[in-house]
Amino acid sequence: MTSRLSRLAVALVATAGATLGVTVANPAPASAAMTICYNTSQAGAYAGTANQSASIWNNATSNLTLSANCGSNLRIYQITGGGSYAVRTSLGNGRVYIDTQQAAQYSPLRIMTHEIGHILGLPDNYNGNCAILMSGGSAGTSCTNPYPSTAEANRVSSLFAGTFSATDRSADIFRDSWPAPLTTVG
């Protein structure tokens, strides 16, 4: 009797373990690429610029696709004065405003791609480096680079890979800070 109970207990534990094993092996459903429908009905002169910017982001990243006028995750507006800006309501969702006065000074495509970068989870990085998209206007009016750096593009891909917490993703910065393996000398 005791033996049978023990075997039953072992079987139950084994079953529970198998269930846990499955859970651990698949912590979350495979993340499907997010489609970000952008709407240019109020983008005025910058609708074409928005399409170009969407192509740049689509080519540079994975796990997301910007698609024109299939919905309104992202609305693009043309405004005059006040500066260009982005309002992110959640990752991949929000509004981008392109200031015609600013776009007359700076590259409209760089502004557009930068502002959409905010919607895709990137913060500003005003370091004056034209190779960095999120350096924005700090790189000066002569900087027309509309492409995210590899690091910027990779960060966006990671954010859309399924973990949407910026705090979780920032932990990646410390990954290279792990001590190097000890080297045996002699």
Binding site for Zn ion (CB under 5 A): 124, 136
Look up 152 and say whether it is catalytic.
Answer: no
How far apart are CB 115 and Zn ion at their closest, in Å? 7
Separation between Cα atoms, residue 132 and residue 182, nearest integer Å: 36
What tokens were used for 146?
């509309």
Task: Please give the Cα distance from 17 to 182 (Å, whole number).
Answer: 36
93 beta partners: 90
Nearer to Zn ion, 17 or 82 (CB): 82
Shortest reach from residue 13's CB to Zn ion, in Å: 54
| Residue with the shortest CB distance to Zn ion | 124
Cα–Cα distance, 73 to 88 (Å, whole number) = 10
From the list 60, 98, 115, 152, the catalytic residue is 115
In the complex with Zn ion, which residue's Cβ is closer, 33 or 166? 166
Instruction: CB nearer to Zn ion: give 107 or 124.
Output: 124
Distance, in Å, from the CA atom of 77 to the CA atom of 46, rounded to the nearest integer, reads 8
Q: Using N-to-C axis directions, what is the helix angle for 47-60 and 108-119, rounded to 10°?
A: 60
User: Where in the sequence numbering do the catalytic residues fall?
Assistant: 115
